[in-house]
Amino acid sequence: MDILLSEFIEYLQIEKGLSINTLKSYKSDLKKFMVYLNLKDNIALEKINNDFLSGYIYYLKKNNDSPASIARQVSSLRGFFKFLYMEHHLNTNPATYLETPKLPQTLPHVLNEKEVNTLLYASDGLNPLQLRNKAMLELLYATGMRVSELVNIELRQLNIEMAYIRCIGKGNKERIIPVGSMAVNSVKNYLNSGRGKLIKNSQENHLFVNNHGKGMTRQGFWKILKKCAIESGFDKNISPHTLRHSFATHLLANGANLRSVQELLGHTDVSTTQIYTHLTKGKLKEIYLKTHPRA
């Protein structure tokens, strides 16, 4: 099983182009499944069937794993056994009809436009670090990128004159995202007066670098955002995803169509984007009351 797991991870990395974080998640999930196999006296691979896998899901529920964690386990098992079937290690795929638990739909936390402005103004300043922080926050809100996409942007992906970014998302998929004028100005200021003073090596390709002149990390950006949130006086928990959620919600509230927002966010399935429509119902009601003759 260890060998098969290594082959599967290699397949996901090379053939599917998945990120390091996603690969770690798959590996962690399947290692957990292998611990369960040990409890069951290392049942032979060909004897694993749908009932056995359903028993594993029941075991996870009994051990108080969250619905989200179990859903991820199901996804990992489906991918793994599909791979084993494709590679002829199994004659049938036992995970084909494995059911995913229903997840409670929770609405993402978003900031209103005034709160976003407060957060962005907190990063104002003229020293290289302040210019960098301002550019990162403006760009994150202007594009709705994931934090991993933001910190991995290279200079070659940015077209500052045409105001767009070539973003490399999940599964190595590329999408073009337009960038608003305020974010463009912030990035220009950082490139003109900040980045050159931070980098130690002229070969560094990352757009955003840390205090040591190397590519910014996700953890590094989290710390910067947390500091700006505190300085803004926010007592609520703000994460990089909060700005992504706010980006999507504000676009929909101001009339953007769902398909366009899906493209900008890099969602494969429009149903993933639909959660944001719940957050704009108040705006729709306001428009209705203003425009319908008999409202």
Active site residue 58: no
Active site residue 146: yes
Active site residue 170: yes
Rg (CA), the chain: 23
Is the separation of the CB atoms in 264 and 144 below 8 Å?
A: yes
Catalytic residue among 27, 170, 206, 283: 170
Catalytic residue among 109, 166, 241, 283: 241
Residues 240, 150: Cα–Cα separation, whole Å: 10
Catalytic residue among 132, 134, 244, 250: 244
Structure tokens at 48: 């694993």
Active site residue 244: yes
* Pairing between β-strand 164-168 and β-strand 174-178 as defined by DSSP bridges: antiparallel
Active site residue 267: yes
Catalytic residue among 78, 166, 206, 267: 267
Active site residue 276: yes
Residues 36, 61: Cα–Cα separation, whole Å: 13
Is the separation of the CB atoms in 287 and 118 below 8 Å?
A: no
Residues 135, 188: Cα–Cα separation, whole Å: 8
Q: Which positions are catalytic? A: 146, 170, 241, 244, 267, 276
